[in-house]
Structure 1
Amino acid sequence: MMTGMNTDTCDPAEAAALREILASRPGAVPPAGWEAVRSFEARHGIVLPEPYRTCVAEICDGLRAGPPYRGLLPLAETPSDWSPYFAERLLAEPFPLAEAWLWEEEEEAGLTQELQARQDSVFEHGSLLLGTDGCGMYWALIVTGPQRGHVWMIDENGAIPFGTSLMPGTPGFTGWVSHWAEGRSWFGDV
């Protein structure tokens, strides 16, 4: 399990890094403000993890040109290719994973109701969608549960946390944004 991140207080160095990367880019969406952030949190029964929370309130609430490939979504938006099957987002329900899960191998043995329910919870529980790289590859910020503050890639084959051996980088929202800004591959040197 990944640990070591402070998701309750925004580190000024992380805020400065996010401001430098995001605020000056073309297509940056103006910040939502604290009132909008607190209203969103109250509606969903959560507190967004830092530094994402401060970023949305004070720096920028989305970026048309990434990260990821198709842009950083404004708070509470879903990508245009998001399946209506996963329409209900239950942010207050804990994200169900603590490590990568590649379910495509399990599906080959037959998709059971239990496996389908567990997959659905990965898509629906405890995460806020950050954006998509297309082809059903979504980036999510975990907002509840032990993985709170981590960014995960979720697609039709499985779910992988950013900042691990499967997807090297510095864990957390700032690490994910910085990784993108440096033009590095999500999957290491592939």
Structure 2
Amino acid sequence: MKPSAPAAAIAARKRQAEQKLAQIQKAIGQLRRERGRLTVRSIAERAGVSATFCYENFDARSLVKSAIADSRSRHDQAAADEHERIEATWRERALNAEAELSRAQKEILTQRQHIGELMGQIRDCGQMVSGESVQVLVTEKSTLQRRVQQLTQEHRKLQERLEGARSNLRFADKRIADLEAQILEHDR
């Protein structure tokens, strides 16, 4: 028994559709490996089928649709991962920059305080010693040195007098003690 012409045509069309579906699967696999862009047109061109077949055949449409959705989710995930990686490096740089900024501000404050103290010392020195007052200070210094020499000489003289007075006092104490002893002997 020979199959009828319509049944044979249907079977041939079915085999042809299955071959096209296999070509579509193969094309999707190739595009994924090559990291090519997955669209209905690119899949149809790679598979050697018409874009109309991809839209009209239910199985082809579901294969293409799931491949595109999977590709987009992978692409979106890869983009999100890349964005997160870049964001993390910028976040770290920002934190490092903030830390360095606060350290620099503290250092600047310390330096300004130190500069202020040094400027105050410079002002004090400028007020103390002007061009004319240097001569006055030199004169005053020599006057004070002479006065120190005089006071040192007077101190030596006074020390000698004090030593003499102490010696006289010891002699007088000894003489008094001797006289008191004589009086006591004489009264007996």
Q: TM-score range by the shorter chain?
A: under 0.3
TM-score between the two structures when normalised by the length of structure 1: 0.16
Judging by fraction of residues, say which structure has more strand.
Answer: 1
Between structure 1 and structure 2, the one with the greater Rg is: 2
User: Larger helix proportion, structure 1 or 2?
Assistant: 2
